[in-house]
Structure 1
Amino acid sequence: MNNDIAAGKWKQLLGKAKTAWGKLTDDELVKVEGHAERLVGLIQERYGKTRDEAEREVRRWLDTHGPHH
């Protein structure tokens, strides 16, 4: 999975990511720096999801909010 988001765009999307995954802290989201793999790992860890579940969730979110929007 390589749907990384440019740093500037990621900063704009932090609020939407926080809304989608409220268990993630602001610091964690900042450290993701738009890297989809890091976001998947955090969601997997914090929410107890499988890697596949977390990847599907991030893909859906990126389809709505990602680099091409």
Structure 2
Amino acid sequence: MTTRTPTTPNTGQDMARNATNTAATTEKTKQDNKTAINAADGITTKPMQANPTNKPKWPQQIKSAKSQWNKLSEAELLKVDGDPQQLAALIQKHYGLSPDVAKEQAKSFMQKQTA
């Protein structure tokens, strides 16, 4: 014979807490997936914060990035969309640099663009 434990109805606070936890889990999953995709390409990167102020300007910055890293295609740079982590992954892939050196180059480039 199975005994059932009575459950209490969800309150508004419980529902809000669950929604917040779900959103946080979804964002973490997106970041994990991005890291997994990079790892599948043999590229290892540490998470970097994307600078949201770079995104609207990114199409104008592609020319500058292309002149600094001529092995990167315009299509690849468009996909980066101002994300320093993705830029570092491309630099590492095309130039055979260590993750730390590629990350530093991407970070330095992004800082110059916002200055």
Q: TM-score range by the shorter chain?
A: 0.7 to 0.9
- Partner of 1:22: helix, strand, or coil? coil
Choose between structure 1 and 2: higher helix proportion: 1
Q: Name the counterpart of 2:84.
A: 36
What amino acid is the match of 1:59? K
Normalised by the length of structure 2, the TM-score is 0.54
Gaps of 5+ in 2: 1-47
* 1:8-56, Cα deviation, whole Å (9 max, x unpaired): 2001101001111110001000111111111000000000001100011
Higher alpha-carbon Rg: 2
Q: Aligned partners of 2:60 and 2:74: how far apart in 1?
A: 13
Q: Which 4+ stretches in 1 moved above 4 angstroms?
A: none
CA RMSD of aligned residues (A): 1.1
Contact in 2 for aligned 1:3/1:62 (Cα 8 Å): no
Question: Identity percentage over the alignment?
Answer: 33
Structure 1, gaps ≥5 residues long = none
Q: Tell which has more relative contact order, 1 or 2 (C-alpha 8 A, sep 6+).
A: 1
